[in-house]
Amino acid sequence: MTAKGLRKLLLVGNPNVGKSVIFGNLTGKYATVSNYPGTTVEVSTGNATIKGIQYVVTDTPGVNSLLPMSEDEQVTRDILLHEDFDTVIQVADVKNLRRSLLISLQLSEMGVPFVMALNMADEAEDLGITTDLAALSKSIGVDTVSTVATRKKGITKLKEVCQTPRHSTLSVAFGERVENAIKEMEPLLPDAKISKRSLALMLIGGDLSLRSWLHSLIPDASIDALEEIVNNLQAQYPEPLGYYINRKRLLAVDKIVKSCQSRVKDARRGFRQWLGAVTMHPLWGLPVLLVVLYLMYEFVGVFGAGILVDFMEKTVFNQWINPVVIRLFDYVPAQFLRELFVGQYGIVTMAVTYSIAIVLPITTTFFMAFGILEDSGYLPRLAIMVNRLFRLIGLNGKAVLPMVLGLGCCTMATLTTRILETKKERVIVTLLLALAIPCSAQLGVIMGMLAGISGEATIIWALVLLFVLFLIGYLSSKIIKGEPSDFILELPPVRAPKLKNILNKTLGRIEWYLKEAVPLFVLGTLILFTADKLMLLGLIEKIASPVIVGLLGLPEKATAAFLIGFLRRDYGAAGLYAMQKAGELTPVQVLVSVVTITLFVPCIAQFFVTVKERGLKSAVAMMAFVFPFAILIGSALNFSLRFLGVTLK
Amino acid sequence: MPHEKEQDAGFIVTGETRDEFLESLWMLEETGKGKKTDRLSVFALAVKEGYIENNAGAEVVVGDMAARGDILLDGDYVSLSERGRDAARNIIRRKRLAETLLSEVFALGPMEIKNSACQFEHILSPDVTDSVCSFLGHPPSCPHGKPIPRGSCCKKLAHHMRPLVMPMKDLEPGNRARITFISPRDHGRMDRLSTLGIVPGTDIVLHQKRPAFVIRAGETELALDLDIAAEIYVKIIS
- In chain A the domains, ranked by start, together with CATH numbers, are 7-161 (3.40.50.300), 176-263 (1.10.287.1770), 285-644 (no CATH)
Residues in chain A: 649
The whole-number pLDDT of residue B115 equals 80
Which of the residues A280, A288, A390, A392 would you substitute to probe the B interface, choosing the one with the greatest number of B C-beta atoms within 10 Å? Answer: A280
Pick the range with the lowest mean pLDDT from A295-309, A510-524, B10-24.
B10-24
Cβ atoms of residues A158 and A147 within 8 Å: yes
B197 at A interface, C-beta within 8 A: yes
The whole-number pLDDT of residue A401 equals 86
Backbone angle region of A542, left / alpha / beta, with phi > 0 → left and psi within -120 to 50 → alpha: alpha
For chain A, the helix, strand and coil percentages under 3-state DSSP, each to the nearest 5: 65, 10, 25
Q: How far apart are the first and last CA of chain B?
A: 39
Strand, coil or helix: what is A318? helix
* Phi, then psi, of A394 in degrees rounded to 5: 75, 15
User: Inter-chain contact B219–A277, Cβ cutoff 8 Å?
Assistant: no
* pLDDT exceeds 90 at position B187: no
Cα A336 from Cα B170, distance rounded (Å): 76
B189 at A interface, C-beta within 8 A: yes
Cβ atoms of residues A630 and A601 within 8 Å: yes
Strand, coil or helix: what is B235? strand
A278 at B interface, C-beta within 8 A: no
Cβ atoms of residues A263 and B214 within 8 Å: no
Residue A343 CA to its chain's centroid (Å):
39
B214 at A interface, C-beta within 8 A: yes
Residues of chain A in contact with residue B197, where contact means CB-CB under 8 angstroms, are 96, 98-99, 102, 250
Residues of chain A in contact with residue B238, where contact means CB-CB under 8 angstroms, are none
Torsion angle in degrees (nearest 10) through CA of B108, B109, B115, B116 = 10
Cβ atoms of residues A443 and A461 within 8 Å: no
Which residue from B minimizes the CA distance to A389?
A: B211
Q: What is the mean pLDDT of residues A543-552?
A: 88
Cβ atoms of residues A524 and A394 within 8 Å: no
Distance from CA of B188 to the nearest CA of A (A): 8
Cα B118 from Cα A490, distance rounded (Å): 43
A491 at B interface, C-beta within 8 A: yes
Which residue from B minimizes the CA distance to A269?
A: B219
Domains in chain B with CATH codes:
2-80 (1.10.10), 86-156 (1.10.10.10), 166-237 (2.30.30.90)
Residues of chain B in contact with residue A491, where contact means CB-CB under 8 angstroms, are 214, 221-223
User: Inter-chain contact A387–B188, Cβ cutoff 8 Å?
Assistant: no
Query: pLDDT by residue (tens digit) across A507-517?
Result: 888 887 788 77
Cα A8 from Cα A162, distance rounded (Å): 11
Q: What is the mean pLDDT of residues A356-361?
A: 83
Which residue from A minimizes the CA distance to B197?
A: A99
Of A396, A486, A413, A380, nearest in space to A35 by CA: A380
B218 at A interface, C-beta within 8 A: yes
A246 at B interface, C-beta within 8 A: yes
Query: pLDDT by residue (tens digit) across A151-168?
Result: 888 899 999 888 888 998
What is the layout of strands, in order, in the sheet containing A115-119? A44-50, A53-59, A7-13, A87-93, A115-119, A144-146
Spatial CB neighbours of B83, under 8 Å, sequence gap ≥ 6: B69, B70
User: Inter-chain contact A490–B220, Cβ cutoff 8 Å?
Assistant: yes
User: Inter-chain contact A493–B221, Cβ cutoff 8 Å?
Assistant: yes
**In chain A, pLDDT over 70 holds for what percent of residues?**
96
Cα A397 from Cα A488, distance rounded (Å): 10
CB < 8 Å from B in window 285-304 of A: 285
* pLDDT exceeds 60 at position A45: yes
The whole-number pLDDT of residue A30 equals 52
Q: What is the mean pLDDT of residues A192-215?
A: 88
* pLDDT exceeds 80 at position B186: no
User: Inter-chain contact A240–B214, Cβ cutoff 8 Å?
Assistant: no
* pLDDT exceeds 60 at position A111: yes
Average pLDDT of chain A to the nearest whole number: 85
DSSP conformational letter for A54: E
Question: ipTM value of the model?
Answer: 0.78
Distance from CA of B108 to the nearest CA of A (A): 15
Cα B227 from Cα A81, distance rounded (Å): 36
A208 at B interface, C-beta within 8 A: no
A487 at B interface, C-beta within 8 A: yes
Cβ atoms of residues A182 and A201 within 8 Å: yes
Residues in chain B: 238
